[in-house]
Structure 1
Amino acid sequence: MTKLSVNINKIATLRNARGGNVPNLLQVAQDIQKFGAQGITIHPRPDERHIRYQDARDLKPVVYTEFNIEGNPKHNFIDLVLECKPTQVTLVPDAIGAITSSAGWDTIANQSYLTEVISEFKRNGIRTSIFVDPLLDMVEGAKATGTDRIELYTEAFAKQFELGNYKAIEPYTKAAEKAFELELGINAGHDLSLDNIKFFKENIPNLLEVSIGHALISEALYFGLDNTVNMYLSKLK
């Protein structure tokens, strides 16, 4: 079964809108795990507009499943990851001020930089994953960095699937096949939802983990958090 890691950034956004501690991020993380999710993902950004760096520290003793921290490996982020030692760090090439992730790494142009960062994380026993577009040369470039996994950036698939273009899955299937051939683990995320997750899962061989936040939290407004988590788990079986 593909694991579900729930990104709780949007819970932090809601909390930050009023100040204080409602909703309680730590309690939500505990509840999501209790409901059956196999991981918690956070993506702190430099302006801390949703997840704060202190949240990462506070979540460390609370997350008893897989703890995944995503972000651009600048100095402060690297220091935070080395302090928290999550199960996995996912490297994302976010520009400062970006609303959300918009592209995978150019793993060829940034190979030296990524290799250096990944080596440091792996020396500290942290599994590494690189956010990549579904391009075979980017998958091959990822392999050369020494990363453990890739995370397929799925926004393009999600947009085309909504339009009824199911062939948009094909480059993702090929990228996953190449990654498996190269002995890379395969994760995926961005704009995956209850509408498209089953189709995606069925067409991506050896998919280990999906990270889902915005859609899941939005869907939970209608279905409830417990129910929504289990709807995803059912579709991922």
Structure 2
Amino acid sequence: MPATVAGTESESDHALARGLAERAGRLLLDLREGWSGEAADLRAEGDRRSNELLLEELRILRPQDGVLSEESPDGAARLAAERVWIVDPLDGTREFGEVPRDDWAVHVALWEADRLVAGAVARPARGDVLATDAPPVVPERAAGRLRLAVSRSRPPAFVTRLAEHLDAELVPMGSAGIKATAVVDGVVDAYVHAGGQYEWDSAAPVAVAEAAGLHTSRIDGSALTYNREDPLLPDLVIARPEVATTLLDAIRTIEKDQPAS
């Protein structure tokens, strides 16, 4: 059994989210640095080992809580749980296998009483963790065109249409967590996605973004909800509050002409 993250049942959920994400990130870094095999095998092993660590720690430290993980079979038990941890053990598996790329992450979030109450996004190859125990301060917006984070390999046509409508700049980058936290960092003004995601892709980034004072919603402006029977959560907006209304208005306009895809 692996050594347990320092803490007890009384440990803050915020601190636990940070500690778990940080420890899984160190495991992934160590694995990647010592790897000599195929990239596909590295990706699979990273998913497996990080998931095992997170699930074992949660079993020990929060035995009454439910868990929803990208890398584990889902079940109905979490739907009856009062608290559910939503984790992505390796967000950006593709980028993780492309050494030395650094745009991959680990997500750990807690859903309780119909809302996200704690979360952490570790960016191991960048040496940092953004978490709700110490909400990051979003820098002032730089002058110039709106900047939208977009997938470097699979940019959704919807976001391309949105950028054209707004005369915005598309900034390609890796995983969902990296794109979401780029808004927190001030690298981009928003992350808009409408190409299909699951709860584990956004729960932790949304928790951190909300703690930092950013706008979060579905693309129709409705609230993001988690721990549903079907974990598919296909679209979201994470944006600086001063540009959120402009973005949502533009989305409504382009959707009148062509549905999001």
TM-score (norm 1): 0.30
Higher helix fraction: Structure 1 or Structure 2?
1
TM (norm. structure 2) is 0.28
Find the structure with the greater CA-based Rg. Answer: 2
